[in-house]
């Protein structure tokens, strides 16, 4: 497959880059700093001109995985009385508007049997006391998934709701909180980035050829 991955420099993104390359796929990475894909473009997802230039250059693709995300420990830990409307807009801009920009730029490149996959999060379904702007933005991505599945059909569009995956956000919280995250899962542990990447890869691949408009929950049983 020839696939485009946004957030290719991130924890889950780089795991997917490695996994896909190991399986013989050609990977086009997009992030502001990534270097690990077969070809790397340093675009901001809010820079529509940059995205359009990349889309023009790379040609037809079999898959698009949107794994970028706004990441800030300070914002994640803000209590409700400290949160402002701008905090919501900041996350929404990167996660939702940025995702829309990427899909819009690459829509002409998507082959008829191709697949688009978004990364969302279990707090979008069950809520959380942390990272409320993140949960809200991820909820919007679930809606975007369903609408785009209808609009872009027969191109498949799905999303994965991850529970806690061991990437850089674990540095934002102390060990007590981290063990609470582990305990909330039935498997009593965080997912590895590789396990998260496997779920995305399945949805990108022809193995999931009759799955579209769906939300796959990969959370070690956390949301039960
Ligand atoms: N880890 C988890 O537990 C978890 C759980 C649920 C959902 N998710 C979601 O899964 C996705 C990946 O998570 P992760 O933990 O791998 O995140 P991460 O390690 O923080 O990586 C985030 C990626 O987004 C890119 N990025 C951020 N802002 C960007 C912008 N304006 N333009 C272009 N690229 C941008 C970063 O690259 P540059 O800085 O190089 O631009 C980086 O590659 C995110 O959407 C996250 O919200 C993660």
Q: Where are the domains of the chain?
A: 2-218
- 2-218 maps to which CATH number? 3.40.50.720
For residue 33, which atom of ligand 1 is closest to its CA?
Answer: 40
Mean pLDDT computed over 157-179: 94
pLDDT of 130: 86
The pLDDT of residue 189: 98
Residue 10 pLDDT more than 90? yes
- Which position has the token pair 């993104």? 13
Residue 143 Cα to ligand 1 midpoint, Å, equals 19
Per-residue pLDDT tens for 170-183? Answer: 988 889 989 999 99
Catalytic residue, candidates 26, 41, 130, 134: 134
pLDDT band with cut points at 50, 70 and 90 for residue 73: confident
Report the alpha-carbon distance of residue 36 to residue 21 in Å, rounded. 10
Q: Would you state the pLDDT for residue 172?
A: 86
- Tokens 């979008």 identify what position? 124
pLDDT given for residue 131 in this prediction = 92
Whether pLDDT at 34 is above 90 = no
* Sequential DSSP letters for 57-72: HH--EEEEEE------
Chain segment 100-142, per-residue pLDDT in tens: 999 999 999 999 999 999 999 999 999 998 899 999 999 999 9
26 as an active site residue: the answer is: no
Question: What pLDDT does residue 202 have?
Answer: 98
Mean pLDDT of 177-194: 96
Q: 172: CA distance to ligand 1 center in Å?
A: 14
Residue 10 Cα to ligand 1 middle (Å): 5
Residue listed under structure tokens 């889309």 = 55
By the 8 A CB rule, do 169 and 121 touch? Answer: no
Strands across the sheet with 39-42, in order? 39-42, 26-31, 2-6, 61-66, 110-121, 156-162, 215-218
Determine the residue of 4, 5, 7, 165 to mutate for testing ligand 1's pocket, defined as the one with the most ligand atoms within 8 A of the Cβ atom: 7
SS (H, E, C) 78-114: CCHHHCCHHHHHHHHHHHHHHHHHHHHHHHHHEEEEE
Please work out whether the CB of residue 189 comes within 6 Å of at least one atom of ligand 1.
Answer: no
pLDDT over 90 (residue 5) = yes
Q: Kindly give the distance from the C-alpha atom of residue 70 to the centroid of ligand 1, in angstroms, as a whole number.
A: 6
């Amino acid at each position: 497959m020839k696939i485009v991955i946004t957030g290719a420099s991130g924890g889950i993104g780089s795991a997917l880059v490695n996994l896909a390359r190991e399986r013989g796929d050609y990977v086009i990475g997009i992030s502001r700093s990534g270097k690990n894909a077969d070809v790397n473009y340093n675009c901001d997802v809010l820079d529509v001109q940059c995205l359009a230039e990349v889309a023009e250059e790379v040609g037809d693709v079999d898959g698009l995985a949107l794994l970028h995300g706004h990441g800030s420990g300070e914002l994640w830990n803000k209590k409700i009385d400290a949160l402002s409307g701008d905090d919501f807009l900041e996350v929404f801009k990167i996660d939702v508007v940025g995702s829309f920009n990427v899909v819009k730029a690459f829509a002409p490149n998507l082959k008829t049997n191709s697949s688009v996959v978004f990364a969302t999060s279990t707090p979008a379904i069950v809520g959380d006391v942390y990272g409320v702007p993140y949960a809200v933005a991820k909820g919007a991505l679930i809606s975007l998934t369903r609408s785009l599945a209808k609009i872009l059909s027969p191109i498949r569009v799905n999303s994965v709701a991850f529970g806690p995956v061991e990437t850089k956000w674990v540095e934002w919280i102390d060990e007590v909180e981290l063990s609470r995250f582990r305990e909330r899962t039935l498997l009593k542990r965080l997912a590895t980035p590789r396990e998260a990447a496997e779920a995305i890869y399945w949805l990108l691949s022809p193995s999931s050829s009759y799955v579209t408009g769906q939300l796959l929950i990969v959370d070690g049983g956390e949301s039960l």
